[in-house]
Structure 1
Amino acid sequence: MANSSHDVIILGAGAAGLLCAAIAGQRGKRVLLIERADQPGKKILISGGGRCNFTNIHTAPDRYLSANPHFAKSALSRYGAQNFIALVDRYGIAWHEKTLGQLFCDGSARQIVDMLLEEGAKGVVDLVCGEEIADTSHADGRFRVKTGNRTAEAPALVIATGGPSIPKMGATGFAYDLARQFGLKVVEPRPALVPLTLGGDDILFRELSGVAADVVVRCGKTAFREAALFTHRGLSGPAILQISSYWRHGETVGIDFLPERERGWLLETKRSTPSGTIRALLRDALPDRLATTLAERLALGGDLGNMTDKALNRAEAQLADWRFAPNGTEGFAKAEVTVGGISTAELSSKTMEAQSVPGLYAIGEAVDVTGWLGGYNFQWAWASGWAAAQVL
């Protein structure tokens, strides 16, 4: 196959590329699917602790970040979580809902990859793995892709190579380089769903490494209630990963350590139990090491009855919005996804086709659409891949 002709060439056999190839193939298109890794779906295989958090039943456009918050509406409305669940069910893959609408395989993420490959086998899909893209060009309405000593051409080219998150899996910014080659704008990519690092006055909290608590985390007008985890470098856990997508350098992050407590609870406790202490109250609600650290930072020793109402109100306010000033993130190496990517202003929200380059498409994480933690990014991969496949 030194030289070959196809109806469509898809670059990247991840979630979006695999589904797009399968559907296009079933629609009678001759598809060439090229993957630089030694096997398809490597990110799928490690996702969800090896069980693949393949979608979220609460999928909605407002759970995605993009320079154009309306862009994802079309694809998500036409191929939603229930569509992918139906596909999973047809293959008899057992699954369960964990928390907050997250769906996981009961068995292995391998089942999802095998399902997508089997779907591809129903059409004409040639999958080639372990191939580096040497050159890509476009002339006379044809795209030409060179990989080593082979050249393939087609009237349609789909960019499905993802973003640079998790480089140890082979992830790169290739999609952005290719987009720029064809004159498409790229929204500056940055790590998302990533742990935050602490320094300065916050470095004390790194000594709590391994301690977790159910909290509310805020950044700007956005808030998430889930677990936060202190690490040897800073902050992690689901709540922190969620807020990291919204956080920018120089901003602070607020944590409500006692989200169940109603306003005024400390004054009420002072009146009902004047002999109580801040440390004892915090130990009743939080892990011991965290409670001790917070009590020490509040610097309110002694009985509640001996403290002024003003001091207690100040302590309550701080516990409800404890400010941290992250000095960075753990970067793309630890990021689950990427915020930014190929600008949605360049693409059709219905077909994912580049408006200025007919026949060129971009899907999945390569595009400036980033979902929350918990299966949302897989659903965008399925939806955007499906949308492109309808018109290839």
Structure 2
Amino acid sequence: MNERQLSRAGEGLQDVQEVDVAILGAGAAGLMCALEAGRRGRRVLVLDHADKPGKKILISGGGRCNFTNLHATAANFLSQNPHFAKSALARFTPADIIALVEKHGIPYHEKTLGQLFCDRSAKEIVQMLERECAEAGVRLALETRIAKATRDGEAFRIETSSGILRADSVVVATGGLSIPKMGATGLGYEIARHFGLRIVEPRPGLVPLVLHPDDRDQWCDLAGLSAEVVAATAQPRTPAFREKALITHRGLSGPAILQISSYWQAGQPLSFDLAPGADVLAPLLAPNARRDPPAFAQALRSIFPTRLAERWLALHPPSDWTNPSLAAAERQLHDWTLTPAGTEGYAKAEVTCGGVDTADLDARTLQSRAVPGLFFIGEVVDVTGWLGGYNFQWAWASGFAAGQVA
């Protein structure tokens, strides 16, 4: 970036009082939108209150950035309109972000279930976006707080801590409410409401669950133990997730729990298949087999760590050792229900479910149907992906879609 540095906060907004496109938020969606709009010859300014771009990218994937998922389709997203994401996802696919990553020589690998991670550091993804933006002539104003955005004749007026900005188009890429220590705010929702767009009530997504005190007393001293499960809600037509569940000091976490948390509704039970694909107690039903607590515990250890097997037996002993009782014990292993007390909230949530109502946006461009020139992209929209690179793919795709027309 020696020849074409991105303009940064030290230059303030005095150099750029009027622009074609103002993008609010220098995350994955905002930067992708910026580079695409810049490539079209648009004068683009990206504003962010943070001191560096892509801060959420930098902490993602344990610092290695799970930048996409090979299998991303609209079916991997939660929204009041399950079809809304199809258009953007079809026009900027995992193959497109992979091509950009490979163009910059960033090594990557598939970890599991189509999840692609950088081999080295998430910093390389941020640097890639910065280089692309610089080459497209994009300007970046960091440490710049946005007070409000209003209509100013045919243009928009944005009041910031560095001065007043006029823009033909405004793209809101401010993210959601998750991880407030990273600076998350409700600014995007405030702007949407000001312009008359509806908001699907935000809530934490991909978030650990908290148990009621009685359940916590029974399980949480086993914090750190995990097992593969299938987690599901009681709601019809919602997906089930087969991955690891982890006991924590306050409840449950791990991939299966984070996944199902986005679909869970307060007060409803969750169901768990604790032994997916296994007939755990079959050894006890063999001719001349032992039928007693040690044999039961040994069978459980085929699916659980020893301490977890012992706890399950202590809390769920069969009423006797007859075939019907063992069959009932087997069924319970495959359909255990538990009602969480709540979630760990936005502080531990990876994403925010809900957001700007997709009914008020054009699916192809992400532009407001009622306010020409106003766009919403990324996490601020009511489109929430599964764990495993899907939310980054939505950021790239929605940013690309808006960048083609903003």
Q: Is 1:53 paired with 2:66? A: yes
Note the alpha carbon deviations across 1:175-199, whole angstroms, 9 max, x for none.
1011001110000000000000001
Greater CA drift, 5-14 or 310-319: 310-319
What secondary structure does 1:289 align onto? Answer: helix
Greater CA drift, 103-112 or 200-209: 200-209
Tell me which residue corresponds to 2:186. 173
Tell me which residue corresponds to 2:354. 340
Give ranges in structure 1 of 5+ residues lacking alignment.
Answer: none
Greater CA drift, 271-280 or 148-157: 271-280
CA distance in 1, matches of 2:148, 2:86: 34
Note the alpha carbon deviations across 1:8-37, whole angstroms, 9 max, x for none.
100000000011001111110000100111
Tell me which residue corresponds to 1:320. 334
Tell me which residue corresponds to 2:298. 280
Tell me which residue corresponds to 1:144. 157
Q: Contact 1:211–1:229 (CA<8 Å) still a contact in 2?
A: yes
Which residue, out of 234, 238, 241, partners 2:258?
Answer: 241
Runs of 4 or more above 4 Å deviation: none
Note the alpha carbon deviations across 1:110-162, whole angstroms, 9 max, x for none.
00000000000112211000011123211211111111241111110000000
Tell me which residue corresponds to 1:290. 308
Q: Contact 1:202–1:325 (CA<8 Å) still a contact in 2?
A: no
What secondary structure does 2:276 align onto? Answer: coil
Letter of the structure 2 residue corresponding to residue 50 of structure 1: G
What secondary structure does 2:184 align onto? Answer: coil
Letter of the structure 1 residue corresponding to residue 289 of structure 2: P
CA distance in 1, matches of 2:245, 2:287: 31
Note the alpha carbon deviations across 1:87-109, whole angstroms, 9 max, x for none.
00000100000000000000100
CA RMSD of aligned residues (A): 1.3
Tell me which residue corresponds to 1:260. 277
Tell me which residue corresponds to 2:8. none
1:324, distance to aligned residue in structure 2 (A): 1.1
1:222, distance to aligned residue in structure 2 (A): 2.3
Q: Contact 1:344–1:368 (CA<8 Å) still a contact in 2?
A: yes
Q: Contact 2:210–2:343 (CA<8 Å) still a contact in 1?
A: yes
1:214, distance to aligned residue in structure 2 (A): 1.3
Give ranges in structure 2 of 5+ residues lacking alignment.
Answer: 1-12
Q: Contact 1:278–1:300 (CA<8 Å) still a contact in 2?
A: no
TM-score of the superposed pair, with normalisation by structure 1 = 0.96
Q: Contact 1:340–1:369 (CA<8 Å) still a contact in 2?
A: yes
Tell me which residue corresponds to 2:10. none
TM-score of the superposed pair, with normalisation by structure 2 = 0.93
Greater CA drift, 130-139 or 52-61: 130-139
Which residue, out of 134, 143, 152, partners 1:130?
Answer: 143
Note the alpha carbon deviations across 1:199-227, whole angstroms, 9 max, x for none.
14422111210001111111134211111
CA distance in 2, matches of 1:40, 1:150: 20
1:386, distance to aligned residue in structure 2 (A): 0.2
Q: Summarize the alignment of residues 176-215 of structure 1 with structure 2, pairs less than 5 Å apart.
A: 176-203=189-216, 204-215=218-229
Q: Contact 2:47–2:141 (CA<8 Å) still a contact in 1?
A: yes
Note the alpha carbon deviations across 1:61-90, whole angstroms, 9 max, x for none.
000000000000000001010000000000
Greater CA drift, 117-126 or 240-249: 117-126
CA distance in 1, matches of 2:144, 2:375: 20
CA distance in 2, matches of 1:294, 1:9: 56
